[in-house]
Amino acid sequence: MATSYWTRMCVNCGHGRLVLQHDVTYRRVYAHCEDCEMGWLRAAEQADPDKGFLTLLGDFGFVDASFEEIAQSEWVDHVCGSFDK
């Protein structure tokens, strides 16, 4: 069973959690709303709906970020919880 980590509820839709993903193309961690598919590249901008982007339009591959990947990113201090998939 895989563990996913999230930072907050989405400011765009108000329903989904911002789940941390590992962009395998550009090797970065970003937050991805599990409901509306919006994403944020910077932890400091995740509360600003105008700073997000529609992840469906992105040209990159991604997987759930491991805690080790998160620990090496700017998102480490923003993890609010985790859940098993």
Mean pLDDT of the chain: 96
Residues 60-81: tens digit of each pLDDT = 899 999 999 999 999 999 999 9
Select from 64, 57, 12, 3 the least CA-distant residue to 33: 12
What per-residue confidence (pLDDT) applies to 12? 97
Domains of the chain, residue spans: 3-84
User: Is residue 28's pLDDT more than 80?
Assistant: yes
Spell out the residues 6+ positions from residue 43 whose beta carbon is closer than 8 angstroms to its own. Answer: 7, 31, 74, 75, 77, 78
Percent of the chain exceeding pLDDT 70 equals 100
At 34-49, the pLDDT tens digits run 999 999 999 999 999 9
